């Protein structure tokens, strides 16, 4: 009994350590161990395969575990390998809870018009990420299923933000809600109906036509071939997160210094696997085999990005290019962020 208790404690400690390497509110990590008939089974889910690899490696280093010959079996779901489904919030707002229960802790709320990315269902709930990347469970009855095309239109096309309460009959649009626009005066409701909003209550924009990325990328290209320097922040030497921070600072947008901090800023994009939802200026983030965010680049649109590399300094790459370790960037890419809204 004592050995089983100590082993359980070691397993829990190891799992918490690997979990702490990312913000599990935006990068999924829900793992529980089971000890059954002298074997260890890992249940639950993680966002990407790097996290599973990091966890198995860490567990294999638990003192005495290998000597006991205890097999470890992963039964983890890898969410990045699952086919995404797209849903739009159809109620004025919906609760995103940390567990699939009515009385579970409330993580945040998602406003009408916003799209959520669905990973799996559990009873009357779906586990999903809302526009800023926050993960949790939303009731299915508050959502309406949409297509990938609908999602990209909302994300990259004409969109309007509601600036004050809009109440008209059965229509209630709270401040902050974002819906696709038919034109600068009309939004498209989740049921497909076109609804007029007073121009003083609607902030219209079209990310695909924004002129902001052009200035940022002009500065970024001026740094081409600048050498890599850990902690550097100039043409004499610069690292990947410093490069992202400086390029945004030149647009009067302050960012945190490190990739693990930058990955939590802005709107979640780049989740489709084909780069079709990326726009120039978006930030691409990459995770190493230890389960930590270790690299960032700036999108040039599509599958191209510019970044600071160990060997070549500032250079352009494609997502399927070979990186310095001999693998492809796609293999350790996890998500992107849009800060130029």
Decide if 48 is catalytic.
Answer: no
Surface-to-core class of residue 336, CB atoms within 10 Å of its CB (0-12 exposed, 13-18 middle, 19+ buried) = buried
DSSP E strands in 184-232: the ranges are: 186-188, 194-196, 202-205
Among candidate residues 14, 126, 128, 307, the one labeled active-site is 307
Helix axes 2-19, 49-60, angle to 10 degrees: 140
Torsion angle, alpha carbons of 273, 309, 239, 131, to 10:
0
Among candidate residues 14, 48, 118, 295, the one labeled active-site is 295
251-278 burial: b if 16+ Cβ within 10 Å, else e: eeeebeeebbebbbbbbbbbbbeebebb
Decide if 73 is catalytic.
Answer: no
**DSSP 3-state of 196:** strand
Among candidate residues 118, 240, 260, 275, the one labeled active-site is 240
State the greatest distance between any 2 C-alpha atoms of the chain, in Å, as a whole number. Answer: 71
- β-bridge pairing 333-338 and 267-269: antiparallel
Decide if 118 is catalytic.
Answer: no
Contacts of 327 (CB under 8 A, 6+ apart): none
H-only helix segments in the chain = 2-19, 49-60, 148-156, 212-221, 240-249, 259-262, 329-332
Q: Which residues are catalytic?
A: 240, 295, 307
């Amino acid at each position: 009994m004592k050995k089983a208790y100590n082993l359980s404690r070691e397993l829990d400690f190891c799992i918490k350590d690997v979990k702490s390497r990312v913000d599990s509110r935006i990068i999924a990590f829900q793992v529980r161990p089971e000890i059954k008939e002298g074997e260890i089974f890992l249940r639950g889910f993680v966002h990407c395969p790097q996290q599973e690899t990091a966890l198995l490696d860490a567990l294999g280093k638990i003192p005495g575990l290998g000597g006991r010959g205890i097999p470890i079996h992963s039964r983890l779901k890898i969410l990045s390998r699952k086919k995404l489904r797209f849903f739009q919030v159809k109620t004025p707002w919906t609760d995103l809870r940390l567990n699939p229960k009515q009385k579970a802790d409330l993580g945040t709320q998602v406003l009408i018009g916003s799209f959520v990315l669905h990973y799996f269902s559990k009873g009357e709930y779906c586990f999903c990420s809302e526009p800023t990347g926050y993960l949790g469970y939303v009731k299915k009855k508050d959502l309406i299923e949409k297509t990938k095309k609908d999602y990209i239109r909302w994300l990259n096309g004409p969109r309007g933000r509601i600036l004050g309460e809009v109440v008209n009959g059965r229509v209630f649009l709270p401040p902050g809600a974002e819906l696709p626009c038919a034109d600068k005066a009309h939004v498209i409701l989740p049921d497909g109906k076109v609804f007029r909003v007073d121009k003083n209550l609607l902030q219209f924009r079209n990310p695909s036509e924004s002129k902001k990325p052009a200035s940022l990328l002009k500065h970024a290209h001026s740094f081409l071939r600048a050498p890599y320097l850990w902690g550097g922040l100039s043409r004499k030497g610069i690292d990947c997160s410093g490069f992202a921070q400086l390029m945004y600072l030149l647009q009067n947008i302050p960012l945190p210094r490190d990739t693990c901090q930058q990955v939590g800023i802005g709107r979640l994009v780049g989740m489709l696997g084909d780069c079709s939802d990326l726009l120039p200026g978006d930030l691409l983030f990459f995770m190493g085999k230890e389960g930590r965010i270790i690299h960032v680049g700036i999108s040039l649109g599509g599958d191209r990005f510019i970044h600071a590399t160990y060997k070549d300094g500032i250079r352009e790459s494609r997502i399927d290019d070979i990186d310095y370790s001999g693998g492809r960037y796609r293999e350790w890419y996890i998500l992107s962020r849009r800060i130029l809204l």
